[in-house]
A and B are shown apart, each in its own frame.
Chain A
Amino acid sequence: MAALDRGAKVMAFSLSSLTTSLRTLSRGTGPDLMPQGRLAGPMPWVIAIMVALTVIAAAAGLALSNTASNASDALSGGATVQVVEANPAERDRQAKEAARVLQATPGVIDVRIVSQQEVEKLIEPWLGVRTGEDGIPVPALVDVRLRDGVDGEKLGQLRRQVRQVAPAARVDAQSTWLKPVFSAIDSLQWLALALVALLGFALAAAVLLAVRTALGTNRETIEIVHLLGGTDSQIARIFQRTIGFDAAGGGAVGLGLGLVVVLLLGQRFEGLGAGLVDSGALDWIDWVLLALVPIAGVALAMVTARLTVIRALRKML
């Protein structure tokens, strides 16, 4: 507990030092017209939390997108023929006949009869280890790859051709099986996107409140700067810069926290060893996009600060 407390204090100090160092670096030798402490307060931490949550939500959205995209690519040109026949010899015969007809079909690039061992391995988690011919009969499977994907018309054509030689065969597009999964992934992607948007709004609202408070606290200074010939833009720049550094410091910490969480979650999901989950691994471009989250946060915070200040100053002479 004491170690945690110490850790929190070190982090708080580091974030405060980071934002202070950034400000010092930027302002050169001139002073800050606004007392920085009054504007900053807990702002860097609020931004750090927002950015961390945004990174996590964005990572989830990107992983889901990858899952959907990879699965869709893998399944889009695939069809499965199931020969549902209790008699093993007849089942094998119909599967072979179906494979022969399909191989001769234009547009079909690959046909493979899934071996009995593979099929047994696939159903083993649900039905247990089967021995010999005593178990429940399972359909023979033929995996078919088509050059230009599978649509309703092609599927109908395949069905007609296969049925002529294998009456017990059922032909389905592989994507059909995962339609509900794709639909769920789609919903989750929208949810992730909505979360990112909501977090953006929350960040803008937090900045707006902080800037309004700072404007109220520094009203006298602002009036003096105005009367000395300071422009709205000059005053807005001060707020913009201050909030920019708070956002940069907070964003860096938030990105770090968010990435740690994403990496930990990635490790946990990797441990599942499930094909669909594995296909959601983040690409390098996804990591670049995640790294852009704090930059977008800084930009959003600065634009919000500028617009808030300019709007408030317009009410003053």
Chain B
Amino acid sequence: MTNSTDGEIVHFDNVGLRYGTDREVLSDVSFTLFPGSFYFLTGASGAGKTSLLKLLYLAQRPSRGMIRMFGTDAITLPRERLPTLRRRLGVVFQEFRLVPHLSAFDNVALPLRVAGVAEKDLVKPVADMLEWVRLGERMHALPAQLSGGEQQRVAIARAVIGRPEMLIADEPTGNVDPDMAIKLLRLFEALNRMGTTVVVATHDVHLLKKVPESLIMRLDKGRLSDPTGALRYPPRPHGGFGSRG
């Protein structure tokens, strides 16, 4: 299946996820994300936020249910075609996951190189992006030579450098100072205004108030809190659904 349904970007239907024979870490998760929306994914530690994000950035297949991304059935999609979908995503991992032997510059350039961008065309955008996250002077440093906050900024720069259609960030402000946190949120908002769907997982309730237009998805013990069914059956984009931050 490759046709987009009603312009939705992601659709989860009764998705469940279990690791091995353990109990399900996600149960009956159903929601629809529309292009150009800004979502916060909240929940207590262990609620399943990272597991849900893994399904979103296609690092994991669910144990049951149906997932459609960019109009494509992500469950039955042959793995050879996964890279095409993944290139439309930008991901900020919770543990940054920078390539340890590559410099900050090369880590940020990685998605562009993977996408086949010529070397001469990637130098300026990467340098500008690193300048923007205030790492212009540290672009040749290896991840091990960077502080936690600097590594996180490199991870964010890497996630947004390719102008993804959907940005998925797992606790992106966890290791940065409040000023930088605000700046990063402004970056996410700017990308969102340009049409990028943003999904930010966070347990920081103060952060939710910083983006008033955001929509909030709450996970509780692996279940998506959706008392009104608004996440499952949302009205058309920008018509407002879910709980406001």
Among A228-255, those with CB < 8 Å from B are: 228-232, 234
Residue in contact with B97 in the complex, picked from A29, A33, A35, A224, CB distance below 8 Å:
A224
Which residues from chain A contact B87 at a C-beta distance below 8 Å? 228-229
Contact of A314 among B58, B79, B91, B101 (CB under 8 A): B79
A229 and B100 CA atoms in complex are apart in Å by 18
Give Cα A220 to B96, complex, Å. Answer: 12
Q: A35-B101, A221-B99, A317-B79 are in contact. Are A227 and B110 (CB under 8 A)?
A: no
Compute the total of residue contacts between A and B using a CB distance below 8 Å: 60
B190 at interface, CB cutoff 8 A: no
Q: Given A33-B99, A229-B87, are A317 and B58 neighbors across the interface (CB < 8 Å)?
A: yes
Q: Is A273 an interface residue (CB 8 A)?
A: no
Q: Contacts A220-B97, A231-B83 known; A30 to B59 CB distance under 8 Å?
A: no
Contact call A227/B57, Cβ cutoff below 8 A: yes
Beyond A227-B91, A317-B82, whether A31 also contacts B114 by CB under 8 A is no
Q: Which residue of chain B lies nearest to A220 when distances are taken between CB atoms in the complex?
A: B97
Residues from chain B with Cβ under 8 Å of A135 in the complex: none
- B residues near A228, Cβ cutoff 8 Å: 86-87, 91, 110-111, 114, 158
A229 touching B114 by the CB < 8 A rule?
yes
B144 at interface by CB-CB < 8 Å: no
Least CB separation from B114: chain A residue: A230
Q: Are B83 and A230 in contact, with the CB atoms below 8 A?
A: yes
Closest chain B residue, CB of each to CB of A36: B101
Q: Is the CB of A317 within 8 A of B60?
A: yes
B-chain residues with CB within 8 Å of residue A229 when the two chains form the complex: 83-84, 86-87, 89, 111, 114-115
CA distance A29 to B113 in the complex (A): 11
**Does B244 sit within 8 A of A, measured CB to CB?**
no
Contact between A232 and B99, CB atoms less than 8 A apart: no
Which has the most chain B C-beta neighbours within 10 Å: A29, A220, A228, A317?
Answer: A228
Instruction: Give every chain A residue within 8 A of B114 (Cβ-Cβ).
Output: 225, 228-230, 234
Q: Is B61 on the interface with A (CB-CB < 8 A)?
A: yes
CB contact list, A88-136 vs B, under 8 A: none
Residue of chain B at shortest CB distance from A221: B99
Q: Does B170 contact A (CB under 8 A)?
A: no
Which B residues are CB-close (under 8 A) to A35?
Answer: 101
Say yes or no: is B106 at the interface (Cβ < 8 Å to chain A): yes
| Chain B hits for A227, CB < 8 A | 57-59, 86, 91, 97
B185 interfacial by beta-carbon distance below 8 Å: no
Docked complex Cα distance between A116 and B106 (Å): 86
User: In this complex, which of B80, B101, B119 has the most chain A Cβ atoms within 10 angstroms of its Cβ?
Assistant: B101
* A152 contacts partner chain B, Cβ-Cβ < 8 Å: no
List B residues 51-108 near A (Cβ within 8 Å): 57-61, 79-80, 82-84, 86-87, 89, 91, 97-103, 106
A-B CB proximity, top 6 nearest = A229-B87, A229-B86, A35-B101, A230-B114, A31-B106, A229-B83
| A/B interface sample: 12 pairs, CB < 8 A | A30-B119, A220-B97, A221-B100, A224-B110, A225-B110, A227-B57, A229-B114, A230-B83, A231-B83, A314-B79, A317-B59, A317-B61
Q: Please name 15 further chain A to chain B contacts, defined as beta carbons within 8 Å, in addition to the given A228-B110, A228-B111, A317-B82, sorted by A numbering.
A: A29-B119, A30-B113, A30-B119, A31-B103, A223-B59, A224-B97, A224-B99, A225-B99, A225-B114, A226-B86, A227-B58, A227-B59, A228-B86, A314-B79, A317-B61
Binding site for A on B (CB under 8 A): 57-61, 79-80, 82-84, 86-87, 89, 91, 97-103, 106, 110-111, 113-115, 119, 158
